[in-house]
Structure 1
Amino acid sequence: MLQASLLWYRNLRASLEEYGFVFNRYDPCIANRMVNGKQLTIRFHVDDVLASHMEQQVLEDFFTWVNEKYGGLKEVTCTRGKVHTYLGMTLDFSKKGNMKIRMDDYVDRMLSEFPVKFKDNEIQETPAGNNLLEKGWHLTLSADDLRVIKWYVDASFAVHPDFKSHTGAVMTMGTGAVQAITRKQKLNCDSSTYAELIGVHDAMSNILWTRLFMEEQGYPIKKNILYQDNKSSILLETNGRSSAGKRSRALNIRYFFVTDQVELGNITIEHMPTDEMWADYMTKPLQGEKFRKFRAVIQGDQD
């Protein structure tokens, strides 16, 4: 089965490259081709393809090519318009400059697998209940500037039963979280500063990959900003050994990898007050107003 998947990928890739597509070096399932001076981008998962271009006729021509190439193997169908279902997601482009993402089937599946089952007559109505159901939660994404990437990285110190800390990270380019990370840290540390350093290290591969991916897509990155709320951690990351006190010298050298990235200009680190640190939402269960505020920000809720 794995061999069949690889053979299919190689066949599709060869066909697309023959047609003039160039693959993104940082994602083997993203390819681009310039048509009429504008970029035709396709992304695919097995044989599910999502294509985008500024001109509808270019997309029609691409569909015709796919149908001629693979229509003899199975029926090729095409969905047109501003709302698409793709890989379990509903992608809504109805509002100019925004994209809404819903995953209703995924939520339904989670609820059906929830170990506690409730009968209708056991559920107590609440004042907020109807409002929540009517609103229908979704993720809204928009970009203020495709040349600016913003990362919020935070850590909750020693919150697990084995006293390991928890990393949270959120990436945005304007409104809504494009990427989110919530992850238990793999090693113990003895201060919140160390927990923050480990958190940055946990997120660093995503931070650097995102920049490389965007630039490969034709969007030169002007700023790749990492926001943190721990000033001691920021000093260590930007100054390396010169800011490391006696206790900090025992910290594994790989966490000063961040310093090199700052010096190379791949990232800039800035302080963000705790009350505006979106990633806090990903590190522990928040409650009350702070939970509602961060949830709205991460989901891009503009209502």
Structure 2
Amino acid sequence: MEAIRLLLAFATYMRMTLYQMDVKSTFLNGIINEEVYVEQPPGFENEKAATHVFKLNKALYGLKQAPRAWYDKLSSFLIENDFVRGKVDSTLFRKEFKSDFIIVQIYVDDIIFGATNEQLCREFSSMMQEEFEMSMMGELKFFLGLQILQSDEGIKIHQTKYTKELLKRFKMDDAKEMKTPMHPSSALTLDEDSPRVEQTKYRGIIGSLLYLTASRPDIMFSVCVCARYQATPKESHMNVVKKILKYLKGTINCGLWYPKGTSPILFGFSDSDFASYKMDRKSTNETCHIFGECLVSWHSKKQACVSLSTVEAEYITTGSCCAQTIWLKQQLQDFRLKLEHIPLKCDNTSAINITKNPIMHSRTKHIEVRYHFIRDHVEKGDCDMEFIETENKLADIFTKKFPKERFYKLRINLGILSEDNLS
């Protein structure tokens, strides 16, 4: 999902229109190198050789080797036609024509492509249809469950259809709307005294909501908190989950907005909620990354170890933010964008100083060595730690519960907009 969102953000920067092709018989195109045998399928039995089996020459749908066989054939064809495979993302291909270029992103049997010259798109479509049995789907509108609306002003990514189906499936389509996904005063615990609820239903709702976070980062924190109680869900937990559904009822049309013509600048935000989980007192990591004005990556996860101070919690979070930044930086190099000194914004001055100070002093002696790699990348110039005021820190929406006014401000600043905001 992050690779797709980064491609969409790059398309808005280059003012490209993305198109989609679909392979009709994907898994019949790949030649398999291994010896694979199958039983005689129903309707194709040979009575004279009932104990014999078939040897496959080409991959069949459902075979483990099928996707790899198809990818090998497709990538070989593209490379033969002067496409260059991405060094980080092996499913990304690029071909340059003087001052123009075309980019192709592959996901199993779906192909997304766009170019700085529309003629290149037409030529690529014809070339692919001549070689494979493919159908041109037109402009990219639906991919991996994401609805994508392209316009002259930008690209909107949303899951409106999925949200409506989700509310209907769990009988919340007529529920009263909520202004925020979680009340600021709510605090979830194991709640041993509360009645238990059906585990299958609770897990089903959580799984559906986690899928929805692909385009709705505003519910990321609330869903992740509720997901911690899937083993023994109680009625109090279910009530909070229903509030998330009620919030979705009032924000069905919300989605990510990627405006066109943004600058090719990448920056990240990191935040940590120290000892927020009352059961084991572990802190929570929250990071997000923005390319231009497009939110392309976000993360909310409980830390693996207990931090002994707010500085340690923030420092570990900046390490996670740095790791994601390096991956995004390398991914952008496949787009021929080379970025250095990527700013990482943090509101903890002590954590910032530790990243710049090579001396191990008392504040860092308890921190595991693997978290100190951020120092190396700061010294190399890959990223720069910068201070930001707490009220301007966009990653806050992934760490805490907020009143309506503060929540709405963060949501809009992250580019999570509805049709009313766009108008």
**Shorter-chain TM-score: which interval?**
0.7 to 0.9
Q: TM-score, normalised by structure 2?
A: 0.63
Aligned partner (choices 154, 171, 184) of residue 271 of structure 2: 154
1:223 is displaced (CA, Å) by: 3.7
Aligned residue in 2 for 1:272: 388
Maintained 8 Å contact 2:94/2:103: yes
CA change 1:236–1:247 in 2 (3 A) is closer
Aligned residue in 2 for 1:90: 147
Matched AA of 2:292: G
CA distance, structure 2, for counterparts of residue 144 and residue 165 of structure 1: 34
Aligned partner (choices 151, 163, 166) of residue 107 of structure 1: 163
Residue pairs, 1:7-26, within 5 angstroms: 7-26=69-88
Q: Which moved more, 1:134-143 or 1:214-223?
A: 134-143
CA distance, structure 1, for counterparts of residue 70 and residue 379 of structure 2: 43
Aligned residue in 1 for 2:23: none
Give CA-to-partner distance per residue, 1:204-239, whole Å, 9 cap, x none.
Answer: 321101111112311121441100011111111121
Q: Does 1:187 align with 2:243?
A: no
What secondary structure does 2:136 align onto?
Answer: coil
Give CA-to-partner distance per residue, 1:278-298, whole Å, 9 cap, x none.
Answer: 111112333322111111112
1:126 is displaced (CA, Å) by: 7.9
CA change 1:255–1:19 in 2 (3 A) is same
Matched AA of 2:135: T
Aligned residue in 1 for 2:89: 27
Q: TM-score, normalised by structure 1?
A: 0.87
Matched AA of 1:287: P
Maintained 8 Å contact 2:273/2:399: yes
1:119 is displaced (CA, Å) by: 7.2
Measured on the aligned residues, the alpha-carbon RMSD in Å equals 2.6
CA change 1:252–1:222 in 2 (3 A) is closer
Matched AA of 2:326: L
Aligned partner (choices 156, 173, 187) of residue 291 of structure 2: 173
Aligned residue in 1 for 2:255: 138
CA change 1:230–1:35 in 2 (3 A) is same
Aligned residue in 1 for 2:219: none
Aligned residues: 290
1:177 is displaced (CA, Å) by: 1.1
Give CA-to-partner distance per residue, 1:21-77, whole Å, 9 cap, x none.
Answer: 101110011110013521100101101001001222211111111111112xxxx22
1:248 is displaced (CA, Å) by: 2.5
Maintained 8 Å contact 1:141/1:178: no
Aligned partner (choices 186, 189, 204) of residue 322 of structure 2: 204
Q: Which moved more, 1:244-253 or 1:163-172?
A: 244-253
The percentage of aligned residue pairs carrying the same residue is: 23
1:84 is displaced (CA, Å) by: 1.9
Segments of 4+ moved more than 3 angstroms: 108-114, 117-120, 123-129, 132-135, 300-303
**Rg: which structure is higher?**
2
Unaligned segments of structure 1, at least 5 residues: none
1:109 is displaced (CA, Å) by: 4.9
Maintained 8 Å contact 2:269/2:287: yes
Matched AA of 2:71: Y
Aligned partner (choices 209, 213, 220) of residue 331 of structure 2: 213
Aligned partner (choices 370, 373, 383) of residue 254 of structure 1: 370
CA distance, structure 1, for counterparts of residue 398 and residue 126 of structure 2: 44
Maintained 8 Å contact 2:347/2:389: yes
Unaligned segments of structure 2, at least 5 residues: 1-62, 181-245
1:168 is displaced (CA, Å) by: 0.8
Matched AA of 2:151: S
Maintained 8 Å contact 1:141/1:300: no
CA distance, structure 2, for counterparts of residue 43 and residue 60 of structure 1: 16
Aligned residue in 2 for 1:289: 405
CA distance, structure 1, for counterparts of residue 371 and residue 177 of structure 2: 50
CA distance, structure 2, for counterparts of residue 42 and residue 231 of structure 1: 42
